[in-house]
């Protein structure tokens, strides 16, 4: 365990690396990683607040939440879960590939991640547009007929999955920049902290979906 951590620090991290022009470049990879983690904690509290709101309303309207959840398609939700899990795997494989200096495999994995992100958003688009077509949206004709609790459920559904979808888009843009940097050789096998940071952000988006999926699609 100790050796493990040391080796991890030794490679990834901290240090003065000489660049080719002979200048001295300072790099602090531990600090960089800590920065992204602190940001992830703020994200946790952002979504956490909404999860608490969900829990409170579910406590108040248990029957309405069950009835409303039955109108969501668990198959679509499950497919999107698998898609996001796969995209998380390819990000982490991209890091290993880069460490092994296999830039081509690294880029292929990151392209698969981007592709999975697009599939996720397309699924979400069909799901939302189907619901909106049925009149189930805030102030929509079908939703006005439903009970207070079901209105709250769909309100939370749109806000939480919408904010999550926004995070998927941001994550794809983040990874897009990283891919450009890898192509330009700014990110290399011994200087990959930025790639890992984008991965950490992407995994957090995955973790949020891991909780959204059972809470919205699997209440029976």
Partner 1 sequence: MSEFNPSKTEIHIENEAHAEELHLEHDEHDTGYGTYILVWLALVGLTAITVTLSGISLGSLTIITALLIATIKTVLVANYFMHVKFDTTIFKVFIFVCIIIFLTMIVLTFFDLTFRNPLI
Q: Which residues bind partner 1 (CB under 8 A)?
A: 1-11, 13-18, 30, 33-34, 37-38, 41, 44-45, 48, 52, 55-56, 59-60, 74, 78, 81-82, 85-86, 88-89, 91-93, 96, 99-100, 189-190, 196, 199-200, 203-204, 206-207, 210-211, 213-215, 218-220
CB neighbour class for 104 (10 Å; exposed up to 12, middle 13-18, buried from 19): exposed
The minimum distance between CB 220 and partner 1, in angstroms, equals 6
The answer to whether the Cα torsion of 198, 211, 53, 157 is positive or negative is positive
In 3D space, the residue among 161, 140, 143, 165 whose CA is nearest the CA of residue 152 turns out to be 143
d(Cα 173, Cα 176) in Å, to the nearest integer?
Answer: 5
Nearer to partner 1, 78 or 170 (CB): 78
The minimum distance between CB 133 and partner 1, in angstroms, equals 26
The minimum distance between CB 93 and partner 1, in angstroms, equals 6
In 3D space, the residue among 149, 145, 167 whose CA is nearest the CA of residue 157 turns out to be 149
The minimum distance between CB 77 and partner 1, in angstroms, equals 9
């Amino acid at each position: 365990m100790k050796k493990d951590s040391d080796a991890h620090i030794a490679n990834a991290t901290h240090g003065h690396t000489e660049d080719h022009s002979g200048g001295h470049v300072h790099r602090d990879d531990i600090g960089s990683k800590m920065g992204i983690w602190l940001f992830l904690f703020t994200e946790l509290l952002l979504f956490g607040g909404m999860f608490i709101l969900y829990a409170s309303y579910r406590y108040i309207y248990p029957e309405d939440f069950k009835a409303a959840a039955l109108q969501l398609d668990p198959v679509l939700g499950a497919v999107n879960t698998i898609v996001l899990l796969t995209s998380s795997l390819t990000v982490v494989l991209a890091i290993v590939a880069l460490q092994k200096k296999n830039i081509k495999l690294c880029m292929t994995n990151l392209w698969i991640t981007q592709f999975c992100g697009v599939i996720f958003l397309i699924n979400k688009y069909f799901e939302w547009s189907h619901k909106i077509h049925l009149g189930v949206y805030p102030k929509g004709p079908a939703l006005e007929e439903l009970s207070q609790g079901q209105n709250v459920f769909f309100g939370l559904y749109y806000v939480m999955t919408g904010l999550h979808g926004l995070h998927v888009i941001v994550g794809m843009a983040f990874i897009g920049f990283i891919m450009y940097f890898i192509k330009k050789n700014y990110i290399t096998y011994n200087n990959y902290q930025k790639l890992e940071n984008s991965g950490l952000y992407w995994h957090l988006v995955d973790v949020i979906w891991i909780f959204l999926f059972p809470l919205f699609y699997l209440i029976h």
